[in-house]
A and B are shown apart, each in its own frame.
Chain A
Amino acid sequence: MVKRTLTDKLAILADAAKYDASCASSGGQRRNSKDGKGLGSAGGSGICHAYTPDGRCISLLKILMTNFCIYDCAYCVNRASSRAERARFTVEEVTRLTIEFYRRNYIEGLFLSSGIIRSPDDTMADMVRIARTLREQENFRGYIHLKTIPDASPELIAEAGIWADRLSINVELPTETALSQLAPEKSARTIRSAMADVKTRREASRERSHRGTRPRAFAPAGQSTQMIVGADAATDGQILGNAASLYGDFRLRRVYYSAFSPIPDASRLLPLKRPPLIREHRLYQADWLMRFYGFEAQEIAPQGGMLDLEIDPKLAWALAHREMFPVDVNRAPRELLLRVPGFGTRSVDRIIAARRHRSLRYEDLLRIGCVLRNAQPFITLPGWSPRALTDSADLRARFAPPPEQLSLF
């Protein structure tokens, strides 16, 4: 075989990494290199340095260490039975790419994932070596996200958390049945126990000893996971229920939803379709409602139910719960204001701050930044009353796209 150049490898191993949705680089430990002895900073809000025409941002150098893999997950471009071209980076190559890209301000850091070669432990050990080299040899203070391998030994996970800002383990599919069918070598139980292990280590790293000293930080930017949407028959209700339990049980920072997308050389087990992008978008909106707006998963989509693709989940909830509306903007508690379509968390904070001083009028809401078109049927305040609009039978039609446009999706 002809020896591959660094450019060839980068092309192959970026192609292999693009199906991971996460590229967050915010939060965690505050670091900088003002002392002139290292490179990089982290801990603020992450920066998206570029956008590709798929609308996704490039924040981290997202690559696989290798796309050789002994597993055969049907949805994955790197599965053993795919004829995809294979390559493997050395530790030095990944280090060099990360540092050189970082110095040119292309990236916030590295998101390293890998196919599984030889054994989970061998693979994880190589990934940990890359992170350690960046930190210890290159004095790199930027962001590192390591995708951990659930079957790797706990000692390796423990070391990974020392060098990395974030660890993630993908649950891959929303249900256990789908996982055993499509990813026969993976086990939902192992994945969950690896997540529990990361959570325990994170908690331990934040407890001070009796002398008040703090142990070393462990994955200070937390852990996240990803679920593929549309490869199996799981409903949105099941997906959101699963996400809610992941947020609750393992204190995950984020659950990413990745619309199952056509891949080169797909498996015959999974016929390809166009990726369900609108569904993915609605799931992210629902996820937001659970994390910042006080919604429970069951309120947004019942276990067997699907999200409305035509209107956003908050509006769908409001239309189904008209008895709660209209809300008096000058009197309603925060929790209720958060349920009004067109009111974001920031608008709600501003409303509450402003109404301490005076009664708000309709015109004020526009300056506060509310989306009034969405809010109108659901609010009342001086200068505006929805009258019969709240209960009108054709209210949904006001928001849903007209039928002839449906073909666009």
Chain B
Amino acid sequence: MRVISLPRIGTVPAWRRHARALAAEGVPPGAVLWQLDAPEGAPSDLFAGAPAPEPPAPPVTLTLPREAVSAIETALHHSDPERFARTYGIVLRLARGDLRWGDRSDPALHRLLAQEKAVRRDIHKMHAFVRFREIGTPEAPRRTFAAWFEPDHPIVEPASSFFAKRFGDMDWIIATPTLTARFVSGTLSFEETRDTAPPAPDATEALWRTYFTHIFNPARLMVSAMTSEMPRKYWKNLPEADLIPEMIRTAPERAMGMIEAAPTVPPKRAEKLRRGNV
């Protein structure tokens, strides 16, 4: 048994290098044990360093369609511990021509494509729900912001280039329970998360909460439409979410109030406008 230990930062490029090398040697999927490096200080895995004899197999050169490479690399950011082994098996079969890319009747490929979709959704939600708070002074030439976010999958690396392109003129940190992305003076880097405390609210948050309350139309209450797109698991890190229960509670009464209110007399201004002498 070969044990391949992958780093926690740069996991996917490392997997790709190992997969190519293993395929070139003709190592079959069942003869590899894939694992992630333990976080610093954790005990190492029992299986490490116990090589077993392997049955010989013909070498394989991994050439795959581009769309397959991109989907595979996305799916590898899933949290499923089996993903490295399953994907190695899939790429061997694809390269040998035993499996057609896109064939959803193959259970392993179907699983991979489902995981790719889950990862893409998680990345999309991270792009949507990260909330920055200012931690520097607003007058600084490059302003500094920080955010705490809890994704379902280890996606900080693929999700961060979006923020680098969008927030190019400021410095920022996004910390998650595993890794932290840091963007300073235009350079993006990753490190193990040390500080797991969310940053303190800043002054603009009160304005945002005002906006959130007032853009809501109480006559159109549709709670399930909201929760299907913004599931409750994200709420604890959204500065506006604690307003939601009260907005829901008072909505029916506010809507009825509008319907039942008697028409009012137009203000004097309106009469002047109507006569065209403003």
Contacts and interface: CB of A to CB of B under 8 A. Distances in A.
Given A103-B132, A103-B143, A275-B220, A52 B168 contact: no
Interface string A232-266: 00000000000000000000000000010111111
Contacts of A36: 168-169, 185-186
Contacts of B215: 14, 17-18, 52, 58, 62
Contact of A273 (B238, B240, B251, B259): B259
18 contacts: A10-B210, A15-B214, A48-B229, A49-B129, A53-B216, A53-B247, A54-B217, A54-B220, A54-B226, A62-B215, A70-B273, A101-B207, A142-B166, A268-B263, A275-B219, A350-B102, A367-B105, A367-B110
Contact of B238 (A50, A265, A272): A50
A145 to B, nearest CB: 15
Given A53-B226, A104-B204, A268-B263, 12 more contacts: A14-B215, A32-B166, A33-B165, A38-B168, A47-B127, A53-B216, A54-B221, A82-B266, A105-B132, A263-B258, A264-B258, A272-B258
Given A39-B168, A277-B220, A354-B103, A50 B230 contact: yes
A11 interface: yes
A57 B230 CA distance: 9
Contact of A274 (B102, B205, B219, B269): B219
A348 interface: no
B266 A80 contact: yes
Interface string A274-318: 110100000000000000000000000000000000000000000
Interface string A53-94: 111111001100000001010000000111100000000000
B258 A104 contact: no
A7 interface: yes
Interface string B179-210: 00000011000000000000000101111101
The 6 closest A-B pairs by CB, nearest first: A55-B225, A33-B168, A55-B222, A81-B266, A14-B214, A32-B165
B216 A54 contact: yes
A247 B256 CA distance: 37
A204 to B, nearest CB: 30
Contacts of B46: none
Contacts of B96: none
B131 A105 contact: yes
Chain B interface category by residue count? 35 or more
Contacts of B213: 11
Contacts of A353: 102
Nearest to B166: A41
B102 to A, nearest CB: 6
A139 interface: yes
Contacts of A189: none
A81 B208 CA distance: 30
Nearest to A59: B128
A265 B131 contact: no
Residue from A40, A106, A364 having most chain B Cβ neighbours under 10 A: A106
Nearest to B147: A105
A35 interface: yes
Interface in A1-54: 6-7, 10-12, 14-15, 17-19, 32-41, 47-54
B158 to A, nearest CB: 14
Interface of B: 100, 102-105, 110, 124, 127-134, 143, 145, 147, 162-170, 185-186, 202, 204-208, 210-226, 229-230, 238, 240, 244, 247-248, 251, 255, 258-259, 261, 263-264, 266-267, 269-270, 273-274, 278
A277 B222 CA distance: 10
A72 B270 contact: yes
Contacts, number: 201
A10 B207 contact: yes
Nearest to A184: B274
B168 A53 contact: no
B248 A53 contact: yes
Nearest to B129: A49
A389 interface: no
Contacts of B204: 100-101, 104
Contact of A56 (B104, B105, B145, B220): B220
Contacts of B226: 51-55
Contacts of A7: 206-207, 210
B222 A41 contact: no
Contacts of B168: 32-39
Contacts of A104: 131-134, 145, 202, 204-205, 208
Contacts of B167: 33, 39, 103, 105
Contacts of B134: 103-104
A368 B166 contact: no
A324 interface: no
A97 interface: yes
A6 B211 CA distance: 11
A83 B205 CA distance: 30
Contact of A19 (B163, B202, B217, B229): B217
A374 interface: no
A263 B128 CA distance: 30
A15 B127 CA distance: 27
Contacts of A56: 217, 220, 225
Contacts of A17: 215
Contacts of A262: 219, 255, 258-259
Contacts of A40: 166
Given A7-B207, A106-B131, A50 B212 contact: yes
A264 B166 CA distance: 38
A49 B208 CA distance: 12
Given A105-B131, A275-B220, A364 B105 contact: yes
Residue from A37, A62, A262 having most chain B Cβ neighbours under 10 A: A262
B104 A364 contact: yes
Interface in A344-382: 350, 353-354, 357, 363-364, 367-368
Contacts of A10: 207, 210-211, 214
A133 interface: no
Nearest to B132: A104
